[in-house]
Each structure stands twice: as structure tokens, then as C-alpha cells.
């Protein structure tokens, strides 16, 4: 695509953190971007990257990576709380930066990142992709054209049950975290309020408004199977006052109903909602207006965006970044917008620590405001160290099975719950295809019962050896998902499932 930006100049990109980072290789190929280097401390990630980019310079050493001079820009997709440190190092090494969400972990780090960007004169973009789905770009265009009138109230959701990702790598095939007795470095415990960009980000981009105040109550009820105290285990709703006085409910977290991109949006002239039924609009400037479902289209470059995968969002992030470097036209997520969304997450966590008290979201565009936060090192108190979920001196011959056991109990319990709970609902399910799915689920669950039993036994060995450990508590909790059914053992349950299928089908045929 040499003529996309009216130039044949190309950008040589290095990727730092090759899990999520590697997801951009495909989209880069569609733009003027060559992936020339990759860095990851984990050999599993490096090997997968090498297959995709055999010509690239690949290293496990960040110093060596930043010393690689045949590079113009770096995409940072390292651990969540290291982004500020890595951004500053990369800018100082003379490269443009694209950084995964979020930009920094404490307000004080935010001040340093802003100053580093301003000093460097380099392009900095936050890699927040959800605003660039087809649906959200369409809503942004309508809002800009005045279709919705003034923003009044919205509910945006990023609900993602990341339970399995506490124990496995986020890559195809989901290998469990090595060496087996440590949990994922941040996904196992982070307060989900920090991961707010996929829900607040779209509203900010659709309306052009910034968040000013935020309030969030602490949530007490976790989903089973997380390590105790994990901030990733709960729904994390917050209320945000936007800069025009409108309000949003930002809902991120883990629940039993994922809505990765759910939304309800009210303007003074029209409203829109999208959960999982397409984009439904209500028009007529009244609560009783006409309802209609519409199919959004890309504003431009449809084919390229479609081919890039990830709902198109990854394509647009890279597109805006390349465009800013090659033509100077500003990208949406500059450092200041990145600060707005990142600080909203930090202040939500601070609000939960203060029983829901409203917190101001400072505007880091203003140097005098930044000054007040220069020494503000607030962060939500980490509930445990994911490297220390067993007591010191634990027997690794036993504990190295922890991730394998908990991950596979979780995976197979999901099949079992879908099957058994589906059987409960079966007589009341209206849709024939869904009824068939329940029967298929019952058969699929039957096929994994022995495996589930093996992993439950593996878990029991760990629990018996270290009953008071955090790991044992998580295992006991994950096991409840396959109870009471598995209490009688796989063989008896398999027989019960056969009977259940027979009864359900017989009742259907009456």
C-alpha cells in the first residue's frame, strides 16, 4: 500500500512484548509498516514471533532491543504496570511510541510520561482499539454531524471474564503460565477499574468529551476460581461526569455475562443501543420515537480494515500512528487523551479505596495541574504477589501442576455447567437450534468427565499439601464450578447425563 499516505516512505517497527504485540503483525502488513524487530523475555513468545517474522531481529534483552538502530518506532505491549517505564526508555532511545493500554500506573508516572513525550518531539499514541470498531466509528460520525444532539447519558461495557488468563498466556493454544506454580504477573490480581479504556475510550472518541469526575463503590462478590482478593474477579462499575455535564456508567470487569462492547447511548435528539442484537437506534427526539436496527459501514478503507482482523480496531490504531509519522496529521489517542482515560481508571480505584467518594480526573494538558500530581504515587494495594501463592520452600514437584490443574478444571467445568444448566432450562427453551446445542453440550461434557476428574484429583494433591495457601483457596473455589455433579465421580455422572439426554428427548417427542 505504498500510496496510502501519498509517500513511499516506510516505518520500521519493533515490537516489545510479543503476546498481544504480535497481534499487530498482520495489520502492519496492510500499511506502510515493516516489523523489523521483536523483544520478549519469554522464549515461547519469541518462537511464535520468529515464525511470523523470520527476518526480524529478535532478542530477550531490552537493552539490546533499544540499541537496535535500524528501527523508527516501537510498539510496547509489555506487562500492564511497566508501560510508563518502557515508554520513557523508548522515547529516550529516539523512537516513536505506540503503547498498549493503559499509559501508566500512577499519577506521578503519568507526569513523567507527558514530560518525556513533550521533550522527545516523537509521536506517542495509546493503542486503544475499541473506539475504532465499525459501530463506534459510525456513532462517532453521527455524533459529529449533530444527529444525537447533546450527549446526555450513556452506559458502556467491557465485560470480560479473564479467569483462564490468570493461569495461561494470552496466545493461540493458551499454554499455561510457566513454571506452573506462579500466576500471571498482573492479570491474576489487577483492579479491573484500571482496565477501563475499552468502555470509556469509545464514549470519549464518539463525543470528543473528557471525563472530569469519577465515583466507584468497592464490589465485594468475586466469581469463583480467582485467587483470593483478585481485583479481576468482579464487576467494576463507576459513574463518570463528562466535561459537558453528561453522565456515563462505565462498566468493566468480570461477570457471568460478557459484553465486550455493550452500550446504551442517549443524546438530546436520538439514542442508540447495542448489546448483542446489532445497533438499534431510536429516532424522533422523544422517548416514544421509532426504533430501527441499522448496519454500520466503515467510513473509508473498508476492505483494508476488514482484512486486518480484531474487528478493525487494530488496523485503525496502526493507520493513525503511521499517518501521524508520515504526514503529521494528528492521531486520536495522543498523550493527553491517553492521560484522561488512564487517570480515570486510577481515580476509580482510588474512589473504591474511599468507599465510592467522587475523585477529580486531572487534566494533564495543564502543566500547573500536573505539578500537583508529581509525587502522587497512589496505586491500589496489590492483594498478593503472583510469584508467591505457595509458602516458601514449597515442593515444586507438586506445585508446578497448579496452573495446569486450575486452568483445565475451569475449562472443563464451563462445558459441564453449560450442559447441566442447559438441561434445567431445556423444557423452556423456545429456539430449536438452542435446544440442539444443549444436547450437544451434554454429549461434549460427557466426553471430558474423566479429564475433569483427573485434574480435580491433581488439585486435591496440591490442596492437601498446602491447604492454607492462596493457590489452594483458588483451586477449592474453581472446583465448586463442577459441583455438586462431580462429587459422585465421573462414571456415575456420565450415566446420569445419558439418562438426562434420553429424558429430554423423550419429553420433546411426546
Ligand X SMILES: NC(=O)c1ccc[n+]([C@@H]2O[C@H](COP(=O)([O-])OP(=O)(O)OC[C@H]3O[C@@H](n4cnc5c(N)ncnc54)[C@H](O)[C@@H]3O)[C@@H](O)[C@H]2O)c1
Give the footprint of ligand X on this chain (CB under 6 A).
17-20, 39-42, 45, 62, 77-80, 82, 100-101, 127, 129, 170
The dihedral through the CA atoms of 419, 425, 426, 431 has a sign that is negative
290 vs 114: CA distance, rounded Å? 46
How near is the Cβ of 269 to ligand X at its closest, in Å? Answer: 32
How near is the Cβ of 20 to ligand X at its closest, in Å? Answer: 3
- 42 vs 400, which CB is nearer to ligand X? 42
Report which DSSP code applies to 130: G
The dihedral through the CA atoms of 460, 183, 157, 171 has a sign that is negative
How near is the Cβ of 203 to ligand X at its closest, in Å? Answer: 16
- 82 vs 115, which CB is nearer to ligand X? 82
157 vs 38: CA distance, rounded Å? 33
How near is the Cβ of 19 to ligand X at its closest, in Å? Answer: 3
Burial of 137 (0-12, 13-18, 19+ CB in 10 A): buried
How near is the Cβ of 319 to ligand X at its closest, in Å? Answer: 15
How near is the Cβ of 364 to ligand X at its closest, in Å? Answer: 20
- 58 vs 101, which CB is nearer to ligand X? 101
- 14 vs 19, which CB is nearer to ligand X? 19
How near is the Cβ of 61 to ligand X at its closest, in Å? Answer: 8
206 vs 138: CA distance, rounded Å? 9
- 128 vs 485, which CB is nearer to ligand X? 128
- CA torsion 138-144-150-154 (nearest 10°) is 30
- 105 vs 148, which CB is nearer to ligand X? 105
How near is the Cβ of 131 to ligand X at its closest, in Å? Answer: 11
100 vs 93: CA distance, rounded Å? 18
314 vs 312: CA distance, rounded Å? 6
How near is the Cβ of 177 to ligand X at its closest, in Å? Answer: 8
Burial of 259 (0-12, 13-18, 19+ CB in 10 A): middle
Please name which of 5, 1, 3, 94 lies closest in space to residue 323, comparing C-alpha atoms.
Answer: 5
Asked if 134 contacts 108 with a C-beta cutoff of 8 angstroms, the reply is no
How near is the Cβ of 58 to ligand X at its closest, in Å? Answer: 11
235 vs 165: CA distance, rounded Å? 17
- 42 vs 382, which CB is nearer to ligand X? 42
- 41 vs 357, which CB is nearer to ligand X? 41
Task: Report the SS3 class of residue 1.
Answer: coil
261 vs 351: CA distance, rounded Å? 24
- 185 vs 255, which CB is nearer to ligand X? 185
Phi/psi at 281 (5° precision): -105, 150
- 142 vs 341, which CB is nearer to ligand X? 341
Phi/psi at 499 (5° precision): -60, -45
Report the residue number whose CB is nearest to ligand X: 19
Amino acid at each position: 500500500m505504498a500510496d496510502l499516505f501519498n509517500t513511499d516512505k516506510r516505518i520500521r517497527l519493533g515490537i516489545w512484548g510479543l503476546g498481544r504485540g504480535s497481534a499487530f503483525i498482520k495489520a502492519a502488513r496492510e500499511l506502510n509498516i515493516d516489523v523489523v524487530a521483536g523483544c520478549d523475555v519469554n522464549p515461547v513468545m519469541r518462537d511464535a514471533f520468529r515464525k511470523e517474522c523470520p527476518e526480524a531481529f529478535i532478542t530477550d534483552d531490552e537493552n539490546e532491543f533499544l540499541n537496535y538502530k535500524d528501527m523508527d518506532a516501537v510498539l510496547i505491549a509489555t506487562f500492564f504496570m511497566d508501560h510508563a517505564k518502557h515508554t520513557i526508555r523508548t522515547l529516550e532511545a529516539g523512537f516513536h511510541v505506540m503503547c498498549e493500554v493503559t499509559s501508566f500506573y500512577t499519577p506521578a508516572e503519568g507526569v513523567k510520561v507527558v514530560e518525556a513525550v513533550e521533550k522527545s518531539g516523537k509521536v506517542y499514541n495509546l493503542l486503544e482499539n475499541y473506539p475504532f470498531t465499525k459501530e463506534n466509528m459510525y456513532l462517532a460520525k453521527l455524533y459529529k454531524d449533530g444527529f444525537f444532539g447533546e450527549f446526555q447519558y450513556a452506559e458502556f461495557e467491557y465485560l470480560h471474564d479473564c479467569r483462564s488468563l490468570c493461569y495461561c498466556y494470552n496466545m493461540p493454544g493458551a499454554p499455561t503460565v510457566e513454571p506452573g506454580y506462579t500466576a500471571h504477573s498482573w492479570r491474576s490480581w489487577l483492579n479491573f477499574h484500571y482496565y477501563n479504556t475499552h468502555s470509556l475510550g469509545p464514549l470519549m472518541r464518539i463525543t470528543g468529551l473528557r471525563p472530569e469526575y469519577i465515583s466507584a463503590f468497592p464490589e465485594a462478590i468475586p466469581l469463583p476460581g480467582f485467587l483470593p482478593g483478585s481485583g479481576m474477579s468482579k464487576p467494576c462499575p463507576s459513574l463518570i461526569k463528562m466535561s459537558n455535564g453528561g453522565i456515563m456508567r462505565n462498566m468493566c470487569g468480570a461477570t457471568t455475562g460478557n459484553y465486550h462492547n455493550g452500550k446504551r447511548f442517549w443524546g438530546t435528539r436520538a439514542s442508540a443501543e447495542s448489546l448483542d442484537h446489532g445497533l438499534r437506534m431510536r429516532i424522533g427526539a422523544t422517548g416514544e420515537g421509532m426504533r430501527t436496527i441499522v448496519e454500520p459501514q466503515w467510513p473509508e478503507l473498508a476492505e483494508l480494515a476488514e482484512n486486518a482482523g480484531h474487528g478493525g480496531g487494530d488496523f485503525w490504531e496502526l493507520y493513525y500512528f503511521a499517518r501521524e509519522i508520515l504526514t503529521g496529521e494528528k492521531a486520536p489517542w495522543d498523550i493527553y487523551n491517553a492521560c484522561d482515560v488512564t487517570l480515570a481508571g486510577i481515580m476509580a480505584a482510588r474512589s473504591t479505596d474511599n468507599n465510592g467518594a467522587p475523585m477529580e480526573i486531572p487534566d494533564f494538558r495543564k502543566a500547573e495541574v500536573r505539578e500537583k500530581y508529581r509525587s502522587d504515587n497512589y496505586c491500589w494495594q496489590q492483594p498478593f504477589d503472583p510469584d508467591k501463592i505457595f509458602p516458601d520452600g514449597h515442593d515444586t514437584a507438586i506445585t508446578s501442576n497448579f496452573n495446569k490443574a486450575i486452568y483445565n478444571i475451569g475449562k472443563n467445568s464451563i462445558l459441564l455447567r453449560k450442559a447441566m444448566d442447559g438441561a434445567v432450562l431445556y423444557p423452556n427453551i423456545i429456539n430449536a437450534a438452542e435446544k440442539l446445542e444443549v444436547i450437544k453440550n451434554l454429549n461434549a461434557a460427557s466426553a471430558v468427565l474423566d479429564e475433569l476428574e483427573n485434574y480435580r484429583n491433581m488439585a486435591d494433591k496440591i490442596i492437601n499439601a498446602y491447604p492454607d495457601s492462596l493457590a489452594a483457596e483458588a483451586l477449592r473455589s474453581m472446583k465448586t464450578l463442577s459441583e455438586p455433579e462431580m462429587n459422585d465421580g465421573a462414571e456415575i455422572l456420565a450415566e446420569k447425563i445419558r439418562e438426562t439426554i434420553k429424558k429430554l428427548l423423550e419429553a420433546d417427542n411426546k
